Amino acid sequence: MQRILTAAIIGLIFGAGIAISGMINPAKVLNFFDFAGTWDPSLAFVMGGALAVTALGYRFVLKRPAPLFDKSFHLPTSRKMDVPLLGGAAVFGIGWGITGFCPGGAIPALGLGETDAFIFVGAMLGGIALARLVRHAFAKRAATANA
């Protein structure tokens, strides 16, 4: 229960940050990337600010043996610079550039009741489900080929 309540409070803080900072607004996000047009650099401070606070927080938090409500930290272990990482990032950027929505901006936008956010999030969940099917199909085929 503590774990679920904590997650909800962290979600509230995250959503408030995204909403107040303007990351929730697709038009503002697109302007941040439009160097040749209506460039709006202000979102750099949002990412920079979030990064500074997180880096500082991790220095204290990750020194602990474990989080308060779990047995251990769950940090990514992969070190590989592989095709899925860089290809996936490139593909993600195309979708972000078309719509102005990234996952962390679109989820809080649902709370504004915006139709566009619902359409985007529905399609994004479909994309994640599709990607997972493809990855599992390939993993299965590789396992059969090796057997």
Which residues, numbered 5-44, are part of the site for other proteins (CB under 8 A)? 5-16, 18-20, 22, 24-28, 30, 33-37
Between 7 and 147, whose beta carbon lies closer to other proteins?
A: 7
Find the DSSP H helices in 1-147: 2-21, 26-33, 43-61, 83-99, 103-110, 115-146
Q: Say whether residue 104 binds other proteins (CB under 8 A).
A: yes
Which 74-103 residues touch other proteins, going by CB under 8 A? Answer: 75-76, 78-81, 84-103
The H or E element spanning position 23 is none
Whether 116 contacts 98, CB under 8 Å: no
Which 48-67 residues touch other proteins, going by CB under 8 A? Answer: 50-51, 54-55, 57-58, 62
Distance between CA atoms of residues 129 and 86, nearest Å? 20
Counting residues that bind other proteins (by CB under 8 A) gives: 90
